[in-house]
Every structure is written in structure tokens, then in C-alpha cells.
Structure 1
Amino acid sequence: MKMTLMVCSGDPEVVWNAFRMGNLMLEQMDDVTMFLNGPSVQYEQLSSETFPLMELARVFTLSEGVLLA
């Protein structure tokens, strides 16, 4: 199944949950594209110890998820 996630929030927790959901869908063998829009494009700057966005984004792309910003 092909899935697209659109994220347009600057809240680190929202972006973190979107990456977690995308990674879960990739584990289930779905084709996943994540489109970052607005403040979510700055996910690298939103990354922290509490919300390790860089690590989740790395796993997402290495698992063949498509990340568009």
C-alpha cells in the first residue's frame, strides 16, 4: 500500500510522532512518502534528546522511505 504523510507543524513532538508512524508503516512493508511543509522542514533544528528527530529521519530514509521537503 502506498502512503503519504504530510507534516506541517513546528512542534517537535508532532514531527517525532510522524517519523515514528512512518517507520512503523515501513516495517509493515508499505511504501511511505513523508512531505514536510512549513516549520516541519526545520526538523534538524527541532531535534533534541527528548525528540531524536535526526535518528528517526535517518532510519526512515535508510528503510527506503521517501522524504520530501
Structure 2
Amino acid sequence: MELTMIICQNVPEVIWNAFRLANMMLEEMDDVSIFLNGPSVKYQDLDSEQFPLNELAKIFTLSEGRLFA
């Protein structure tokens, strides 16, 4: 299955859940793309211990997920 997710919020929990779902789908061999729009483009600034966005994004891109901004 091919899936494109569009994220346009700067709420860390929303972005975190989107990356988690995308990584789960990649494990199932689906094709996943994430398009960051508006305030979500700066997701790296929202990284925290509770919401490790940078680590999830790294896993996503190393697992052949496509990240667009």
C-alpha cells in the first residue's frame, strides 16, 4: 500500500504519533511518505525526551520512508 501523510501542526504529540504510525507501516513493507507543511517543518526544534522526534525521523528516513518539506 502507498500512503502519504500530511502534517501541518507544531504539536509534538501529533508529529510523534504520525512518525510512529509511518514507521510501523514501513515495517510492514508499505510505501510511506510524509509531507511536512507550515509549522511542522520545524519539527526538529520540538524534539524532547518525551517526544523524540529526531530519532523517529531518522528511523523513518533510514527505513526508506520519504520525507518532504
If the length of structure 1 is used for normalisation, what is the TM-score? 0.98
Residue of structure 2 in register with 1:28 after alignment: 28
Offset, 1:58: 0.2
Residue of structure 1 in register with 2:63 after alignment: 63
Offset, 1:11: 0.3
Alignment of structure 1 residues 29-44 onto 2, 5 Å: 29-44=29-44
Offset, 1:50: 0.5
Equivalent residue letter for 2:40: S
- CA-atom RMSD in angstroms: 0.4
If the length of structure 2 is used for normalisation, what is the TM-score? 0.98
Residue of structure 2 in register with 1:50 after alignment: 50
Distance 1:37 1:11 in 2: 13
Structure 1's unaligned 5+ residue stretches are: none
Equivalent residue letter for 1:6: I
Alignment: residue pair count: 69
Structure 2's unaligned 5+ residue stretches are: none
Percent of aligned pairs sharing the same letter: 64
Distance 2:20 2:10 in 1: 16
Residue of structure 2 in register with 1:19 after alignment: 19
